[in-house]
Structure 1
Amino acid sequence: MTRSAHHFRKMNGLGNDFVVLDLRHEPLALTDAVARAIASRETGIGCDQLITIEEPRHGGDAFMGIRNNDGGVVEACGNAARCIGRLILEETGKESVVIETPAGDTIATRAEGGDITVDMGEPRLLWNEIPLSEEFRDTRAIELEVGPLGNPVMHSPGVVNVGNPHAIFFVEDVDAIDLGRIGPMLEHHPLFPERANISVAQVFSPTHIKLRTWERGAGLTRACGTAACAATVAAVRRRKTERNITVSLPGGDLSIEWREADNHIYMTGDAAFDYEGTLDPALLTGKA
């Protein structure tokens, strides 16, 4: 049964903000239109992603559903995983919790200073795992250019899937790239049959990179956790950085480790609670 109103929490990970709905005790008929209405910054609550907490489906502590602000369902969101990990850790009192997602299970644990660490699993690196629409034997740098022929603005991105597809371009200055213009074109490039998150990365040192991301279905964002993970993997594969680095995003820093021992990516960062309230019933019609 759908209620006429519904409780929500507003949270963020480094400015990547979420409306969180706990559907375990307050069911909601969540359609694309309802998700867009809630996510609207003009007439709704406003967020990059709408996150649902649901009953676990195969033995975890909770299931996390994810919709971008365009209403579309997506498989993974690293910053949201930290936020939901924080909530479930506080709720259960456990030392670690398993957050199920469409992309697989994520284990969340407490880190120093109130931060949360999430195990994002193993990256997928084969062309058909990302996926790409044509075969590339080496996905460290695929043939894709932006700009004039022979003098591209950026080229040869590394491609990685960390629950969702990413293309990472290494550039001299991330702030010199008009990602708001280039991002939408590349997101929908024919090479990416499921669209892609598009990032530009600037290497400061073997332990520090700067990153900006155009997020598939959400646009420019202050932080994208899966992009930070994908960029770290891409940088390591190109021998630009070490495996344990700081990724600086517009909203702040994440610590990312692509651990050689188990091939898993571990992300550590903030998971902040902003406020809570009750949804305007008009939003649940999808017409607000």
Structure 2
Amino acid sequence: MIPFRKMHGLGNDFVVVDARADGALAALAITPARAAAVADRHRGVGCDQFIVLEPPGEGADVFMRIWNPDGSQAEACGNATRCIAALMMAETGRDQVVVRTVRGNLPSERLPDGSIRVDMGPPSLGWRDVPLAEELDTTHLPMTIGDVADPAACSMGNPHVTFFVGDLDRLDWQAIGPQAEHHALLPARANIGFAQVLDTDHIRVGIWERGAGPTLACGSGACATLVNAHRRGLTGRRARVDLPGGTLQMEWRLDGHVLMGGPVATAFTGELDWDALPA
């Protein structure tokens, strides 16, 4: 039996397994099928991402590997980073820790109100960075799907495309999301955001996550939303970003780094019958 913890940031939920002990990762022998089985909401525990904690590497407190419900791996996940940062803070007794992902080291801190803020690093704005299938201006992409068009794109370690819409409530964005994720311009697929700018410091967004579908929140998606909105001249460098599951406080600093802050929670703990999962 393998202990796990179910955590969430604004309802963006994760199953977390600790594989930092000697031999633990090899013993788990995680495969895409096993990761997908854990994430299955009907036959598994159910989550937006399955998170495996691994030995940290240089300059970090922990390495976080991110598995999507379809068995693919994600390069970044802002809300999961905040959850794991909170775990490391409880473990170390410190209010500042570093979580490492394939994107690199992400410094995180506990704010006076108890929320967790993570430095997600700078966005990548070039067409190869997203990546796109051809050389294009990433502030305006020639994409039209149903009622949406002319999105912006960037990478937060994982690819993001943001459509700006007039009224999110009147848009069936969950039907558009899978079409946009698999658009021919996006060879690595992408997370798709649908953003309604309410004011220069207030954005409302729904996000279709690559490999996961619609989620209550997406931290890297909120980062990309602010970056793309500011690049289009729609907002300043700070904004409240409202997602279906709650609110994140965002800042794109002048040094290029994107900061994201919000609450995290543990829902429950349990044990996985690992041998019963498909190999």
Q: Name the TM tier (shorter chain).
A: over 0.9
Unaligned runs of 5+ in 1: 148-152
Shift of 1:32: 0.6
Structure 2 Cα separation of the partners of residues 238 and 180 of structure 1 = 24
Structure 2 Cα separation of the partners of residues 176 and 58 of structure 1 = 48
AA partner of residue 43 (structure 2): T
Deviation readout 1:136-176 (Å, 9 max, x if unpaired):
1x2111111123xxxxx111101010010000000001122
- TM-score in terms of structure 2 length: 0.96
Is the CA contact 2:59–2:105 (under 8 Å) kept in the aligned structure 1? no
**Counterparts of residues 190-269 of structure 1 (less than 5 Å):** 190-260=184-254, 262-269=255-262
What residue is the counterpart of 1:143 in the other structure? 142
Give the aligned CA root-mean-square deviation in angstroms: 1.1
AA partner of residue 92 (structure 1): T
What residue is the counterpart of 1:123 in the other structure? 123
Is the CA contact 1:10–1:19 (under 8 Å) kept in the aligned structure 2? yes
Structure 2 Cα separation of the partners of residues 204 and 63 of structure 1 = 37
Shift of 1:50: 0.2
Structure 2 Cα separation of the partners of residues 176 and 282 of structure 1 = 46
> What SS does structure 2 have at the residue aligned with 1:64?
strand
Shift of 1:236: 0.6
Distance 1:146 1:251, change over 3 A: same
Structure 2 Cα separation of the partners of residues 285 and 129 of structure 1 = 35
Residues paired across the two proteins, number: 275
AA partner of residue 113 (structure 1): D
> What SS does structure 2 have at the residue aligned with 1:45?
coil
What residue is the counterpart of 2:39 in the other structure? 39
Shift of 1:254: 0.2
**Counterparts of residues 1-288 of structure 1 (less than 5 Å):** 5-25=1-21, 26-27=24-25, 28-136=28-136, 138-147=137-146, 153-260=147-254, 262-286=255-279
Is the CA contact 1:35–1:71 (under 8 Å) kept in the aligned structure 2? yes
Structure 2 Cα separation of the partners of residues 96 and 143 of structure 1 = 42
Is the CA contact 2:96–2:109 (under 8 Å) kept in the aligned structure 1? yes
Shift of 1:104: 1.4
AA partner of residue 16 (structure 1): N
Deviation readout 1:185-210 (Å, 9 max, x if unpaired):
11011100100111100011111000
Shift of 1:282: 4.7
Structure 1 Cα separation of the partners of residues 168 and 67 of structure 2 = 27
Shift of 1:113: 1.9
Shift of 1:283: 4.1
- TM-score in terms of structure 1 length: 0.93
Moved more, 244-253 or 172-181: 172-181
Distance 1:283 1:173, change over 3 A: farther
Provide the identity percentage. Answer: 50
Structure 1 Cα separation of the partners of residues 104 and 182 of structure 2 = 25
